[in-house]
Amino acid sequence: MIRQPNALQKLFHRFFMQPSVTAFFATRVHSIDKFLLRISGGRLTGSQILGWNIIQLTTIGARSRQPRTMPLVGLFDGEKIALVASSFGREHNPGWYYNLKAHPECEVQFKDRSGRYRAHEAVGEQYDRFWQMAVSVYAGYDRYKRRAAPRHIPIMVLEPRK
């Protein structure tokens, strides 16, 4: 289910890769997407114009133990979903990453489907494959990797619960 970005989306990607633009949207994009998902009944996000599959990930808070829902870019590989913990190239991993590490059971909603998943961190060849998949969808991940250095950008893989 990986779609390569079209020319217009690549143009938008180049704009969003700029450090000042990323810094502005890094703290706002999730709120914008949450609002749009709520008012559209889960059908629309601002990130869709960029050609990304936006899932709603519900985790259990690592410290709070309360449910937390976050719209994220999902990379689909058959039944598996990969999530890149880039945090827009910032210094720290995003909160949802720590939530999944502490409580790997989660729920995903994508369009009109939902399901329960179990997360694990990608390593080795699996990490490399998903990283290449991520960069093919959004070249900005490579920039985020350079900005985040020396932090390693993790990739979490969600597998459906049988």
| pTM for this prediction | 0.79
Over residues 78-115, the pLDDT tens digits come to 999 999 999 989 899 999 999 999 999 999 998 878 99
Nearest in space to 26 (alpha carbons), one of 110, 71, 84, 87: 87
CATH: 3.40.630.10, 3.40.47.10, 2.30.110.10, 3.40.50.1220. Which one for 7-160?
2.30.110.10
Distances (CA, A) of 108 to 12, 103, 132, 143: 27, 14, 23, 27
Q: Tell the residue number behind the tokens 């970005």, with chain if given.
A: 5
Distances (CA, A) of 129 to 4, 38, 152: 16, 33, 16
Q: Is the pLDDT of residue 119 over 90?
A: yes
What is the domain partition of the chain in residue ranges? 7-160
